[in-house]
Structure 1
Amino acid sequence: MATAVSLAIKNALVREGVRRILSDSWFEIVETVDHLRELDADLSASAEIHILVIDRSLLGVDGAATVAATLASFPDTRIVTLVDSFDFSQMVAIYAAGAHAYFLDHVPYQALVAMMQMVAIGQKVAPPELVDLLGNMLLVTSHSPQNSKVDSYNLNERERMVLGHLGQGLPNKAIARDLGVSESAMKASVKSILKKLGVRNRTQAAVMARELSLGKPSRQPGESVTVCIDDAAQA
């Protein structure tokens, strides 16, 4: 029996693309909507296995609350969330609310299909970005106690400012605009920062920034942490 899938995706082009990908992979698309209030409760109740895909634009400010409220209305549904950037705190909250998967919306279609297949058999699926982040955090924190002060790394004033922005998960273009410098100057600063910190990529640098308390005050419980994952494109 095919797994029934409902798509709650605001953008019509994205919704149609996901529909075609999943339809070609033996999923039965029973419903496509551009708002959660349009979902048909009868479809969820009648399906043996029902997966609901919700995109970032419909999750709202509090994605976890949206997931919890949706599950209250559709208790037998397995929720998959598609987001545009990896946010660790948001991910944890969404899984805690009962979601089965949290994935970036620009994953290769094969990864999307594989993830949906895992959810269909009842598994909760972690995004690959989580594995990368945990590995980066391990590498950074393993030597950070020996170099806990920013002065130890001989960063100039601009590099400190750039590192603080990296710690907030901002891409080069946004940092350059905020600091009033060119993107080429930004790339040069990032490369210099990576070398001085002894890290391999922007994600590790972002973790170091938080270890060094750069960018903004130490994160409070429940505060969102966004990490720019695409190192190759940004460095």
Structure 2
Amino acid sequence: MSPPIRVLLCDDQELVRAGFRLILDLEDDVEVVGEAADGHECLRLTGEHAPHVVLMDVRMPRMDGIEATRRLVAAGSPSRVLILTTFDLDELVYAAMAAGASGFLLKDVPRDQLVGAVRMVARGDAILAPALTRRLVERFVAAPPPSSRTPAALRSLSERELEVFALLARGLSNAEIAADLFLGDATVKTHVARILTKLGLRDRVQAVVLAYESGFLQPGRAHD
């Protein structure tokens, strides 16, 4: 049997941490290794316990979740960060994605989705709900003016890879991309891995950030 997925809970509200712990402790393959009430404590406990996944609140005293995420990524920590946000989508969530978070969850996420998200992130995937991604992008991304040219950062991609990248950046899963482009799942997986490698991106979340900040995709519409 594989060792359990180690999770660190980081939220300044004790009741929120207790609720997530109650859910995760029911899973045989998940172990909550600690709880932090602010970013400083999160960094310390991450160093002590080396969690696979950090469930990170955005607004906390002393050090917020954005700065804590930024420092973890800059230090080369293998721990993956899942940002916790309210339904209103805190304006700092996009900054957390840019800082290197592997996705975001609503604080009222159903139990099964929380557990599934933890497992996905632990194995190296990213959490991108298309509807939330679009709303997040449209509210908080200051996109460059539209351009008919491919941004310089993406010129290493082939025409097919650009097609996959556009769908990937809109939050589609590999299966959804495969259906849209009439490709096999394995082919899409290969394309995605190659795209991330060529662009030097950690995961799909960073692909979303690059796509919109470069102007490749415009908020409110898909890439032509």
Matches for 1:4-43 after TM superposition, within 5 Å:
4-25=6-27, 26-38=29-41, 39-40=44-45, 41-43=47-49
Q: CA deviation at 1:72?
A: 3.0
User: Compared with structure 1, are the counterparts of its residues 126 and 31 closer, same or farther at alpha carbon in structure 2 (3 Å cutoff)?
Assistant: same
Q: Is the 8 A contact 2:58 2:93 kept in 1?
A: no
In 1, Cα distance between the equivalents of 2:30 and 2:40? 23
Matched, 1:94 2:96: yes
Q: SS where residue 115 of structure 2 aligns?
A: helix
Which structure 1 segments of 5+ residues have no match? 138-220, 222-235
**1:3-37: CA deviation from partner (whole Å, max 9, x where unpaired):** 11111111111111101111112211111121222
Give 1:79's aligned residue. Answer: 81
Backbone CA RMSD of aligned residues: 3.1
User: Compared with structure 1, are the counterparts of its residues 128 and 58 closer, same or farther at alpha carbon in structure 2 (3 Å cutoff)?
Assistant: farther
Q: Is the 8 A contact 2:24 2:115 kept in 1?
A: yes
**1:100-125: CA deviation from partner (whole Å, max 9, x where unpaired):** 12111011111111111111111011
In 2, Cα distance between the equivalents of 1:12 and 1:74? 28
Size of the aligned set, in residue pairs, is 133
**1:28-50: CA deviation from partner (whole Å, max 9, x where unpaired):** 11111212222321211xx6xx1
Which structure 2 segments of 5+ residues have no match? 140-212, 214-224
In 2, Cα distance between the equivalents of 1:68 and 1:132? 23
Matches for 1:197-208 after TM superposition, within 5 Å:
none
Identical aligned residues as a percent? 27
Give 2:121's aligned residue. Answer: 119
In 2, Cα distance between the equivalents of 1:71 and 1:130? 23
In 2, Cα distance between the equivalents of 1:111 and 1:60? 30
User: Compared with structure 1, are the counterparts of its residues 92 and 11 closer, same or farther at alpha carbon in structure 2 (3 Å cutoff)?
Assistant: closer
Q: Is the 8 A contact 1:86 1:104 kept in 2?
A: no
Q: Is the 8 A contact 2:87 2:106 kept in 1?
A: yes
In structure 2, what residue type is equivalent to 1:42?
Answer: E
User: Compared with structure 1, are the counterparts of its residues 109 and 132 closer, same or farther at alpha carbon in structure 2 (3 Å cutoff)?
Assistant: farther
| Structure whose residues are more often helix by fraction | 1
**1:145-178: CA deviation from partner (whole Å, max 9, x where unpaired):** xxxxxxxxxxxxxxxxxxxxxxxxxxxxxxxxxx
In 2, Cα distance between the equivalents of 1:125 and 1:68? 18
* Aligned counterpart for 2:55 among listed residues 48, 53, 56: 53
* Aligned counterpart for 2:105 among listed residues 103, 106, 109: 103
In 2, Cα distance between the equivalents of 1:59 and 1:70? 18
User: Compared with structure 1, are the counterparts of its residues 34 and 64 closer, same or farther at alpha carbon in structure 2 (3 Å cutoff)?
Assistant: closer
